Homo-oligomer: A and B are copies of this chain.
């Protein structure tokens, strides 16, 4: 019978007093002359294994004393009740066998390391408690996003990564040769989702996105994941409702399933609990007013940067929605406000505590003539986007959606300062390895 720490915990009452065998790695060790306390991690949990000098033969006791961190082990012992352990039990060891020793000094010791060093050893750093907690919360957030959209009758439609069209600014495009043609790595799946929404009504994609940003801020990765819902017949208010519902669902799911990991990360859980409806919805004009009150004069027409977003987010205890930006701040496909043609029907959702924009979206321009005119004004090349214009040629309808950045959402929920820890293998301007 194969045991894991979790399976023992699940069947604890029947296993107390029984002898079991576990496989795993040595996470940490504390020793005295007569006893070694081994922290054995098996991938899912960490268990205290107690090696007493009288319980194993002398060779094994000595060998155990010399074990390096991350040595892989087979440990045999008796399951013993232990009320001080969060698991409720420990292992009284009768035998320890080495699967493989550590051939060099394990580079990540409990002492402090610089971030560059840790990132160079990302493949090993993932073994630490803190990084595992982040990865588990990331996986839970992904599950929550997918479950939310499925529950709301969305169909997942994967957008392509390799495209022949660019639309979010050509300066941040990665390009490559594709059998003699020029191809780009996708910057957004939105255009494809608009086509799919005309077919299936409610759709979303969820995949990696690429932006060759020459920026070294704590909010930027060159490769990150984004979920992008798009819905036929949605107006700006519907888009805001959907974003709000989704974020509340994510946070509620994490509070239900990941308290253990949030605790490892020392996340302020009460602050997170405030993520409830309704979120404040302020217009760009109102945002400028708030900035002015805090000594920051921003000219109408300028997009809000990280500093501005931080000031605004600090006025509220939950995510805040800023809508109706000046049209010139937003992409060519944004619908204009019928009340004021200078404004776009776009919305950004800003996370609390300065984590910045986690969602951007809005209503799309669905009138062919207006869209063509804007593309001309903004010098967007039409030839590779004829297919996109077809959406407006064949039964066009109002529609809208948004993109939610996964890593920024993870950074906010985990309360980590830099998005590079929010993805298993980060890619930045200066990092392509491991």
* A contact residues vs B (CB 8 Å cutoff): 4, 6, 23, 25-26, 42-44, 70-72, 99-104, 106, 121, 123-124, 126-127, 131-132, 135-136, 138-139, 142-143, 146, 150, 153, 155-165, 174-176, 178-179, 181, 183, 185, 192, 195-202, 207-208, 210, 212, 214, 222-223, 225, 232-233, 366, 368, 384, 387-388, 390-398, 423-425, 427, 429-430, 432-434
Contacts and interface: CB of A to CB of B under 8 A. Distances in A.
Interface centre among A104, A202, A223, A433 (most CB of B within 10 A): A433
B368 A103 contact: yes
- What is the count of identical protomers in the complex? 2
A136 B155 contact: yes
A424 B179 contact: no
A104 B181 CA distance: 29
A121 B390 CA distance: 9
A175 B178 contact: no
A430 to B, nearest CB: 7
A425 B384 CA distance: 15
A23 B135 contact: no
A397 B52 CA distance: 26
Given A99-B395, A394-B102, A423 B150 contact: no
B200 A43 contact: yes
A123 B174 contact: no
A200 B123 contact: no
Contact of A70 (B127, B163, B394): B394
Contacts of A164: 432-433
A187 to B, nearest CB: 13
B208 A153 contact: no
A157 B135 contact: yes
Contacts of A210: 161-162
Contact of A394 (B106, B200, B387): B106
Contacts of A232: 23, 43
A223 to B, nearest CB: 6
Contacts of A429: 179
